[in-house]
Amino acid sequence: MSSVTGQASGPLDLDSYKSLDDQTLTARIQAVRAEMGPRLVILGHHYQQDEVIGLSDLRGDSFKLSQQAAENRQCRAIAFCGVHFMAETADILANRPERVAERGGQRVTVVLPDLAAGCSMADMAQIEQVEECWEQLGELIDVDQVMPVTYINSAASLKAFCGRRGGIVCTSSNAKAVLEWSWARRRRVLFFPDQHLGRNTARAMGVGLEEMPVWNPRRKLGGNTAGAIARSRLILWKGHCSVHQVFQPAHVDQLRAAHPGIKILVHPECMMEVVDRADVIGSTEKIIRSVAEAPPGTRWAIGTELHLVSRLKHEHPAQEIHFLSPMVCMCATMYRIDLAHLCWAVENLAAGTPVGVIRVDGDTAGWALKALERMLEVK
What does the pLDDT look like over 111-127, one tens digit per residue?
999 998 877 888 899 99
Among 241, 272, 302, identify where a domain stops. 241
- Greater confidence, 331 or 363? 363
Same domain, 221 and 263: no
d(CA 199, CA 106): 42
- Given this model, what pLDDT does residue 247 score? 95
| Structure confidence at residue 75 as a pLDDT band (50, 70, 90) | very high
Same domain, 205 and 169: yes
Same domain, 276 and 356: no
Do the domain assignments include residue 307? yes
Same domain, 141 and 178: yes
- Given this model, what pLDDT does residue 116 score? 87
Same domain, 107 and 126: no
Same domain, 99 and 180: no
Q: What is the mean pLDDT of residues 199-220?
A: 97
- Given this model, what pLDDT does residue 334 score? 60
pLDDT in tens, 31-50: 999 999 999 999 998 878 88
Residue 312 has pLDDT above 70, yes or no: yes
Q: Which residues contact 156 (CB under 8 A, 6 or more apart)?
A: 85, 88, 89, 92, 360, 364, 365, 368
Cα-Cα-Cα-Cα torsion 25, 27, 31, 33, nearest 10 degrees, comes to: 70
- Given this model, what pLDDT does residue 5 score? 35
Do the domain assignments include residue 373? no
Q: What is the mean pLDDT of residues 179-208?
A: 97
Same domain, 253 and 354: no
Same domain, 311 and 353: no
In order of 20, 53, 79, the CA distances from 57 in angstroms are 23, 8, 10
First-to-last C-alpha distance (Å) of the chain? 46
Do the domain assignments include residue 255? yes
- Given this model, what pLDDT does residue 2 score? 31
Same domain, 85 and 19: yes
Do the domain assignments include residue 136? yes
Dihedral sign for Cα 361, 364, 367, 372, please. negative
The answer to whether the beta carbons of residues 220 and 246 sit under 8 Å apart is no
Residue 303 has pLDDT above 60, yes or no: yes
Do the domain assignments include residue 371? no
- Given this model, what pLDDT does residue 333 score? 63
Do the domain assignments include residue 378? no
The answer to whether the beta carbons of residues 51 and 341 sit under 8 Å apart is no
pTM (predicted TM-score): 0.91
Q: What is the mean pLDDT of residues 315-326?
A: 94
- Average pLDDT along the chain: 92
Residue 345 has pLDDT above 90, yes or no: yes
* Strand intervals (E) in the chain: 40-45, 58-60, 77-81, 109-111, 146-151, 168-170, 188-192, 214-215, 234-237, 263-266, 280-281, 299-303, 320-323
Among 241, 259, 294, identify where a domain stops. 241
Do the domain assignments include residue 194? yes
Domain count of the fold of the chain: 3
- Give the CATH number of the domain where residue 309 resides: 3.40.50.10800
Same domain, 222 and 261: no
| Structure confidence at residue 24 as a pLDDT band (50, 70, 90) | very high
Same domain, 274 and 316: yes
Residue 165 has pLDDT above 90, yes or no: yes
| Structure confidence at residue 243 as a pLDDT band (50, 70, 90) | confident
| Structure confidence at residue 146 as a pLDDT band (50, 70, 90) | very high
The answer to whether the beta carbons of residues 264 and 216 sit under 8 Å apart is no
What residue numbers bound the domain in which 229 lies? 121-241
Do the domain assignments include residue 172? yes
- Given this model, what pLDDT does residue 49 score? 83
Q: What phi and psi values does residue 56 have, to the nearest 5 degrees?
A: -85, 140
Same domain, 53 and 164: no
